[in-house]
Amino acid sequence: MKLGVIGGSGVYEIEGLQNVCYEAPDTPFGEPSDQYCCAELNGVELVFLPRHGRQHRIMPSEINHRANIYGFKALGVDCLISISAVGSLKESISPRDIVLPDQYYDRTKKSLEHTFFGNGVVAHVSMADPTCPSLRETMAATARDVIKKEGLPNCVHAGGTYVNMEGPQFSTRAESNVYRSHGFDVIGMTSLGEAKLCREAEICYQPMAMVTDYDCWHEEAGNVTVEMVMGHLVANTQLAKAIVIELAGQVGRERSCSCRSAMESAILTPAAAITDADRERFGLILARHADG
């Protein structure tokens, strides 16, 4: 099992890595956000990518998720942890809590950028359970251990619905209240595309959503500002890195979940109708399915 970590706002590098080198794999889908940092951590091979680039120059709707996920696949990653900053939509989910989403609600207009398929090859993969249950279980236990060891009050919520809006602006209060009325848990701008593409790439994927604010619905907490977000972000960044270091030693050697075979029966275009040019264009995404 090769572990990938994609860092969000505040997480631009992981300290304490050994045998570090940087890779820039070619992808048929364009340029990833930055070079991938390939290293060892706790005896496990790890590949890290900062989602917004090391200098945070790429805003959420500009991220080339297809290139980012393809790059992880090209580097042999089969298990991806995604760290991101989110707003809470519930009183019971406080700033600095961690939510491990198991559902999404799509508020983007990016469906064509959230799939490797199209232009001659059609696939419909199940997203009923969009994140990896076994990775989530391991992540929840590890996060709780780290929080306990460090004596922090933060809660870990294993499960929850992540509303993916596009941004870059935060929500209006009307939008925030509509999401709350649906019972959704957190809101962010980046994870859904990664989840869909990891499913198509048959990579186990679980986001670790770190809460920075109450969005704008919480009258007493005041409207969300960059200053408020930054204070929680710094604390969350330290905690996220501590969890990743522990998690590297905990993630299993073998995958027992169904993520690794998600695309079986998902490609509707018959193998005979898939051209050599298609195979070249899709690269590793079709490699396992090339002979139908």
Q: Which residue number, 49 or 132, has a Cβ lying nearer to Zn ion?
A: 132
Q: Which helix (H) or strand (E) holds 214?
A: none
**Location of structure tokens 């090391």:** 54
Work out how close the CB of 189 gets to Zn ion at its nearest, in angstroms, rounded to a whole number.
Answer: 24
Q: Which of 207, 221, 204 is nearest to 261 (CA)?
A: 204
Work out how close the CB of 258 gets to Zn ion at its nearest, in angstroms, rounded to a whole number.
Answer: 7
> 141-149: long-range contacts (C-beta < 8 A, 24 or more apart)?
141/250, 142/243, 142/246, 142/247, 142/250, 143/98, 143/100, 143/208, 143/243, 145/246, 146/239, 146/242, 146/243, 146/246, 147/239
Annotated catalytic residue: which of 26, 102, 215, 291? 215
Work out how close the CB of 261 gets to Zn ion at its nearest, in angstroms, rounded to a whole number.
Answer: 10
Q: Which residue number, 132 or 267, has a Cβ lying nearer to Zn ion?
A: 132
Q: Which residue number, 19 or 256, has a Cβ lying nearer to Zn ion?
A: 256
Annotated catalytic residue: which of 78, 129, 213, 278? 213
For the chain, the distance separating the N- and C-terminal CA atoms, rounded to the nearest angstrom, is: 26
Q: Which residue number, 80 or 121, has a Cβ lying nearer to Zn ion?
A: 80
Give the binding site for Zn ion (CB under 5 A): 132, 204, 257, 259
Q: Is 34 a catalytic site residue?
A: no
What contacts 201, CB < 8 A, 6 or more positions away?
A: 69, 70, 72, 73, 116, 284, 285
Work out how close the CB of 13 gets to Zn ion at its nearest, in angstroms, rounded to a whole number.
Answer: 26
> Which positions are catalytic?
213, 215
